[in-house]
Amino acid sequence: MSPAVLDESLTRVVGTRTANALEKLGLTTSGDLVRHYPRRYGRPGELSEIGQLRVGDHVTVVADVEQATVRPMRNRGGALLEAVVTDGRDRLRLTFFAKRAGALRPHEDRLRAGRRGLFTGTVGEYRGARQLTHPEYALIGADADEDEMLADAAKPIPIYPAGQGVPTWRIARAVRTVLDPLTAADAPDPIPDDVIAEHSLPSLLEALRLVHAPETDEDWQRGRERLRFEEAFVLQSALARRRAARAAMTSVARLGAVGASGADGGLVSALDARLPFALTDGQRAVGEAIASDLARPTPMMRLLQGDVGAGKTVVALRAMLQVVDSGGQAALLAPTEVLAAQHERTILSLLGPLAEAGMLGGSDVGTRVALLTGSLGAAARKKALLQAASGEAGIVVGTHALLTETVQFADLGLVVVDEQHRFGVEQRDALRVRGESPPHMLVMTATPIPRTVAMTVFGDLETSVLSERPAHRAETVTHVVPADNEAWMRRVWSRVREEVDAGRRVYVVCPRIDGDAGSTPSDAEAAGIDPLADAKPDVPLASVMETAEALRAEPSLAGVRVGVMHGRMTPDAKDAAMAAFASGETPVLVSTTVIEVGVDVREASTMVVLDAERFGISQLHQLRGRVGRGGMPGLCLLVTHAEAESVAQERLEALAETEDGFALAEKDVELRREGDVLGAAQSGGRNSLRLLRVVRDADVIAQARADAERVVAEDPELSGHPALAAAIDAWLGEEREEFLERG
C-alpha cells in the first residue's frame, strides 16, 4: 500500500451500500473514515439506562435479551417478532414485522435469552411501553467461545457519531476493514520523528489503532492524546509558516514625522496635544509597539483587542497619522455604514483643524479625511474617489465600498479593519494586494478573546491588549429582570421615564424586527447560541415594531417620542433615526443589534434588552458598552424568560456580576459550542478540528506552538517534512489557511 490508500474511495473498500450510508456523515474516503473517531466508549458490562430513553430519540443501548417470540399478527396478515431486552432495571421492547414467520426465524435464533447486544433505533411507544421497531443490532460475543466472550467483555466498545441507517457497529466494521491492513507507509506521520521521540508519542498508525480498537481505557486515552497534539501541531505549523512567509515580505517602513523633521513636527504629536484626555498607560504601550512595527520594512500584522470603551479608536488613529506623517495613506474598513459614519465623525472631532488641510483655518501639518460608503450620491462618491486616488485624503474611512476595483490609493500604507469578524477573507485581502508592496495591517476587535482562542485562531498575528478602562468611562450596572414579574417590568419602564426626564437617552433592543414568526431572530446564531435554547415555546419574541407601538401606549412614557432602528431601513433612514436619538428628539430608540458596535451617543445612559436569553455573552457585553460613554453612570437591564439554572440564565448572571470583558470571554467560551469558538471555517466540515478544544487544551496548544516554531524555523518550506506539509494542505486547505491568516 501507499499514502494513496487513504485517498481511496470508500465505495471500492467497503461496498456501495455501506459507502452510501457513510457519505451521509460526510465520509467518502478511507482517510475520512479512520479520522472519524469514536465519540465515547462503552463497555459490555456497563448497561445503558433504558429508563432515561425519550420517545423520538435515536439511541443505542447495551442490554441483555430476556425473551424473543414469533407469532402471527391478529388483525392482518403476516407475522411479528417481539423481543424484550433489559439493562437490569428497565425493559425495552424490540419489534420486527415480516410477511412470513419464516423470515423472522433468524432474528429469533440470534436473540436468545441471555445474549447481550447493542441495539439502535428510534424510540417509539406502544400501549404505554417504549419500543424500538426494526432496530439494528449487534450481539457481543455471539459467535465466540466463552474465553473470547470474556476477553470481549473487558474491552471498551467504540461508540461512533452515527446516523439513521448507519449504526455505530456498522461504522466500526467499516473502520476495521480499512484500518487492519494499513502499514506505517500507508499513514505517513505529520509529526516529525524528533518531536514524537521527545514527547514519547505513539506513531500515527498506532494512535489510530489505539482509538479504534483499544484493549483498555488507557489505550484510547493515549491515542486521543496523540491525535489531539497532532491537530494542535498541524494548526500551529500552518500559523508559523504564515509568520515566516510574512517575515520574508518587504513593505515600506513608515517612520512618521520623527524620521523626517523631528519628534514635534507631525500629526501624531499635534493630535496628542489636542486630546481632551490623557492617554492611559496601556494606550501608550500599545501605541509604541504599533509604531515600532510600522517603522520596520516588513508588513505589520497585529491584532488589537480591547474591551468596550478601552480606547482602540485613538490608538488606531495615532497609527494612521504616523503613516500619513511618512507620506502614505491609511484606510479604515468598517462593517456597516452606521459604524463607518461614526468613525468619520469621531476622527474629525478628535483632529479638528488637523483634518482641514488646505482649508481656511486648517492646520499647516493637517490632512483630509474622506468617507466612502455605498449610499453616497454620485457627486460625493466622485469627490471621495478623487481624494483617495490623489493622496489628498490621508485617511479614507469606508465600508465594503472601499474594496471595489474603482477605489485607488496614491500610496496605501496601513489598513485598519474594525470588527474583523464581520468581513470575509477575500474582502479583507482586497486592500492588502493594492499597490507595489503590501500595506501594514491592524485588525481590531471589541470582543475580548481568551488567550487560548487567540493563540489558536489568531496565532499568526502579534496581539496587543487594551485592558484598562479610560478615566472618562463610568461604571455600568447590570440587572437581570424576569419578564414574567409584572411589578419589575413596570419599574423598568418607569426607570426609562426617569432617565428621559433627566435629559438622557435609552436604547431598547429586540431580537426581531417585526412580529412575523418567520422573520429572523437578531444575530442569535452568529452570537454562537442556539436561538431556541432555553426558550419558552409559547412566548413570542419581542419585535422592534410591536415594542415601539407598545411603548408609545405605555402610560409611564406618555409624551415621550419613541424611534425605531433596524437593518431593513435605508442608510439615510438609519442616519436620521440616530440623529433624532442623539439630539433628544426621540430619546427612546427601539432597535435590533445594528447599534451593537461603535455607535457612540454620549447622552445614552440606559440599555434595555428584551428576550436577553436569545443573545450571547459577547453580544450582550457589546450592547451594554453603548451606554455610560459620556461620563455618567450606565444602566443595563436584561429582560429574560430564561428558566432558573438554565445555561441562558447563567450567561445573564455572569454579565450582571462583572464588566470585565476578558473574564466574560472566558465564560463565553466555556458555555458555547466549540465550533462557535473557532468560527465556521474551523468547524463542521471534514477538515475541522475533531479532538482539540481550545480552552481545555491550552497547555497542548502552547507546547505544539513551541515545537512548530522550531520545526518551521529550521525548514520554512517544510521540504524536509512532506507529511506535515501534506497534512496542512489536507486538513486546512487553501481556503482555511487563508482564514487563519485573517481568522
| Higher per-residue pLDDT: 724 or 403 | 724
Q: CA 518 from chain center: how many Å?
A: 25
Q: What is the pLDDT of residues 430-466, one digit of tens each?
A: 666 566 688 998 988 776 666 656 655 555 567 888 8
Residue 689 reports pLDDT greater than 90:
no
When mean pLDDT is compared across 70-79, 125-134, 684-693, the lowest value belongs to 684-693
Q: Which of the residue ranges 35-39, 241-245, 365-369 would you say has the lowest mean pLDDT? A: 241-245
pLDDT in tens, 2-20: 557 888 999 998 989 889 8
Q: pLDDT class for 678, splitting at 50, 70, 90?
A: very low
Q: What is the pLDDT of residue 312?
A: 87
pLDDT above 50 (res 739) = no
3-state helix, strand, coil split of the chain in percent (to 5) is 45, 20, 40
Cα 527 from Cα 533, distance rounded (Å): 12
Separation between Cα atoms, residue 556 and residue 490, nearest integer Å = 8
Given a contact cutoff of 8 angstroms between Cβ atoms, the answer to whether 723 and 188 are in contact is yes
Kindly indicate the confidence band of residue 401, based on its pLDDT and cuts at 50, 70 and 90: confident
| Pair 337, 574: CB distance under 8 Å | yes
pLDDT at 46: 54
Cell numbers found for residue 706: 513551541
187 phi and psi angles, rounded to 5 deg: -130, 70
- The pLDDT tens digits for 360-379 are 777 888 899 999 988 888 89
pLDDT at 685 over 50: no
Exposure letters 11-33 (e unless 16+ CB within 10 A, then b): bebbeeebbebbeebebbbbbbb
Q: What is the C-alpha separation between 211 and 176, in angstroms, rounded?
A: 11
Q: Is 312 exposed, middle or buried (CB count within 10 Å of its CB: 0-12, 13-18, 19+)?
A: buried
Q: How would residue 467 be classed by pLDDT, with cut points 50, 70 and 90?
A: confident
Domains of the chain: 44-154 (2.40.50.140), 266-294+311-445 (3.40.50.300), 476-658 (3.40.50.300)
Q: What is the 3-state secondary structure (H, E, C) of 508-567?
A: EECCECCCCCCCCCCCCCCCCCCCCCCCCCCCCCCEHHHHHHHHHCCHHHCCCCEEEECC
Distance CA 269, CA 274 (A): 9
408-418 pLDDT, tens digit per residue, is 999 999 999 88
Query: Which comes out higher in pLDDT, residue 467 or 36?
Result: 36
Q: Model confidence at 284, in pLDDT bands (50, 70, 90)?
A: very high
Q: Which long-range contacts (CB under 8 A, 24 or more apart) does 78-82 make?
A: 79/103, 79/104, 80/104, 81/107, 81/108, 81/111
Question: For the chain, what percent of residues have pLDDT higher than 70?
Answer: 80
CA-to-CA distance for 170 and 714, rounded, in angstroms?
Answer: 45
Per-residue pLDDT at 618 exceeds 70: yes
Q: What is the arithmetic mean of pLDDT over 316-322?
A: 96
User: What's the pLDDT band for 687 if we cut at 50, 70, 90?
Assistant: very low
Residue type, 470: P
Question: What's the whole-number mean pLDDT along residues 46-68?
Answer: 79
User: Per residue in 560-594, pLDDT tens?
Assistant: 999 999 888 887 888 889 889 999 999 999 999 87
Mean pLDDT, residues 652-678 taken together: 68
Of 445, 607, 614, whose CA–CA distance to 522 is shortest? 614
175 pLDDT band (50/70/90 cuts)? Answer: very high
Mean pLDDT of the chain: 82
d(CA 720, CA 237): 14
pLDDT of residue 1: 41
What percentage of the chain reaches a pLDDT higher than 90?
Answer: 39
**CA–CA gap between residue 535 and residue 524 (Å, rounded):** 12
pLDDT-based confidence at 611, cuts 50/70/90?
very high
pLDDT of residue 180 exceeding 60: yes
Nearest by Cα to 572 from 381, 374, 348, 332? 374
Name residues whose C-beta falls within 8 Å of residue 430's C-beta, 6 or more positions apart in sequence.
403
End-to-end Cα spacing for the chain: 37
Residue 570 C-alpha cell reads as 435605508
pLDDT digits (tens, 9 = 90+) for 492-548: 999 999 999 999 999 999 988 886 544 444 334 333 344 444 455 557 889 999 999
Examine the pLDDT at 674 and tell me if it is beyond 50. no
Model-level pTM? 0.62
Range from 92-106, 195-209, 276-290 that averages highest in pLDDT: 195-209
